[in-house]
């Protein structure tokens, strides 16, 4: 039976829901995946469809290492890499392998809201660390380290979700130094590291694995297609061995072995490289469209900064605004946003919201924000600069 292809959170027809943090259909490279698949099947042997080795197919890891070496501007090796089914699965595995129920883990405040459930599913206690325009606040981290001994810090260092900012290179080194001093791991969600639209971000945590304190998580969900369900962990040999010793891996073999073959061919043929360039150009245009629409409709009402990469704008309104109470009205206006409090481990940021520019073209972005403007007719003004930033 035929039907409409949909996805979790798909909006009703006619609605422009800027809460959706997924690529739009025109950003999903069907022809690329078809060509890479044909290339694989033209040479595939029967054993390609067996379980595979636990860390992932060596040819895929070699190709990925070359790709990362180029884009991270630092040597990467297959021995540092472990195949995953994307960053959600990688974080779930990190919570199992590198922590135990009852342990404390640090997260940024705000942070990726769906990560909270993954961590709580494993009985971990979450402590939030504030961020500012330069990323995770190191002074606040030091203060909390005086009270807690975390198993790990979960951080989104480049083009933060939801904030959009990057942790500076200096702070990354300071955080790594504290991890060594206080014996915790830095579990870095680097899914947006390669999605920069202006200047490149600071070096990825994936380039710092020699410290034996870094678990860098990357994914093809944002730079190729979420439905491939493929990603990687980049870490030290010791920490990778702990992943490979887990019961889940020993039972199931290589994670998403089949997709790794397809992506290997996409990398080796230069298809992924070309697609990444296309994404950067297209998303840069969408960033500009969203920034212009916000300046037109929300100057004086909200604070924001134009992100240099990733997927998201983060808006702050007057403290009297509760964006959670406006969701129903937004749906009536056939628009939408992700309300701020969901990004807090403590229920803070009720006067904030997140907008994504990834799922709609420039015209739809401008229309969606125009529809949203009447929601804030009664909002008190907030001091801004000309570009809406603090």
CB of 63 closer than 8 Å to CB of 268: yes
Q: What values do phi and psi take at 18, rounded to 5?
A: -80, 10
Give the dihedral of Cα atoms 246, 236, 256, 107; nearest 10 deg.
80
Task: Please give the Cα distance from 326 to 336 (Å, whole number).
Answer: 9
Query: Are both 239 and 290 inside the same structural domain?
Result: no
Domain span including residue 332: 16-29+273-376
Task: Please give the Cα distance from 215 to 240 (Å, whole number).
Answer: 9
Q: What is the DSSP letter of 196?
A: B
User: To which H or E segment does residue 96 belong?
Assistant: helix 87-97
Task: Please give the Cα distance from 355 to 61 (Å, whole number).
Answer: 34
In a domain, 388, yes or no: no
Our count of domains for the chain comes to 2
- What is the pLDDT confidence band of residue 253, given thresholds at 50, 70 and 90? confident
- pLDDT single digits (tens) 194-225: 999 999 999 999 999 999 999 999 999 999 99
- pLDDT single digits (tens) 262-285: 999 999 999 999 999 999 999 999
Q: What is the DSSP letter of 203?
A: P
Query: Are both 155 and 254 inside the same structural domain?
Result: yes
Bigger pLDDT: 64 or 9? Answer: 64
Task: Tell me the whole-structure pTM to 2 decimals.
Answer: 0.95
Domain boundary among 249, 270, 291: 270
Task: Please give the Cα distance from 239 to 155 (Å, whole number).
Answer: 18
- pLDDT single digits (tens) 5-22: 678 888 899 999 999 999
Query: Are both 42 and 134 inside the same structural domain?
Result: yes
Share of the chain above pLDDT 70, in %: 97
In a domain, 5, yes or no: no
- Give percent helix, percent strand, percent coil of the chain, each to the nearest 5: 45, 15, 40
Query: Are both 137 and 199 inside the same structural domain?
Result: yes
């Amino acid at each position: 039976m035929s039907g409409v292809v949909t996805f979790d959170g798909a909006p009703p027809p006619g609605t422009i829901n800027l809460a959706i943090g997924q690529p739009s259909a025109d950003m999903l490279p069907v022809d690329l995946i078809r060509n890479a698949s044909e290339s694989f099947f033209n040479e595939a042997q029967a054993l390609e469809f067996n379980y595979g080795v636990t860390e992932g197919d060596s040819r895929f890891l070699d190709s990925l290492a070359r790709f990362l070496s180029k884009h991270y501007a630092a040597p990467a090796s297959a021995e540092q890499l472990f195949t995953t089914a994307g960053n959600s699965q990688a974080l779930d595995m990190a919570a199992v392998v590198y922590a135990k129920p009852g342990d404390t883990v640090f997260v940024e405040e705000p942070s990726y809201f769906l990560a909270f459930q993954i961590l709580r599913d494993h009985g971990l206690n979450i402590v939030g660390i504030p961020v500012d325009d330069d990323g995770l606040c190191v002074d606040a981290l030091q203060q909390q380290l005086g009270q807690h001994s975390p198993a790990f810090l979960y951080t989104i260092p480049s083009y933060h979700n939801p904030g959009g900012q990057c942790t500076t290179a200096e702070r990354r080194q300071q955080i790594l130094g504290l991890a060594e001093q206080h014996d915790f791991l830095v579990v870095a969600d680097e899914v947006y590291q390669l999605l920069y639209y202006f200047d490149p971000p600071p070096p990825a945590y994936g380039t710092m694995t020699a410290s034996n304190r870094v678990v860098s998580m990357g994914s093809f969900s944002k730079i190729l297609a979420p439905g491939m369900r493929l990603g990687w962990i980049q870490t030290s040999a010791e920490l990778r061995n702990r992943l490979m010793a887990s019961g889940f891996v020993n039972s199931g073999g290589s994670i998403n072995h089949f997709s790794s073959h397809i992506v290997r061919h996409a990398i080796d043929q230069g298809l992924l490289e070309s697609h990444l360039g296309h994404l950067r150009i297209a998303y840069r245009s969408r960033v500009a469209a969203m920034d212009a629409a916000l300046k037109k409709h929300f100057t004086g009402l909200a604070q924001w900064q134009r992100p240099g990469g990733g997927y998201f704008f983060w808006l702050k309104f007057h403290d009297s605004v509760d964006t959670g109470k406006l969701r129903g009205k937004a749906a009536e206006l056939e628009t939408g946003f992700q309300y701020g409090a969901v990004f807090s481990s403590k229920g803070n940021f009720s006067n904030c919201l997140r907008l994504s520019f990834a799922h709609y073209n420039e015209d739809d972005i401008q229309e969606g924000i125009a529809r949203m403007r009447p929601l804030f007719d009664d909002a008190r003004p907030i001091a801004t600069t000309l570009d809406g930033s603090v």
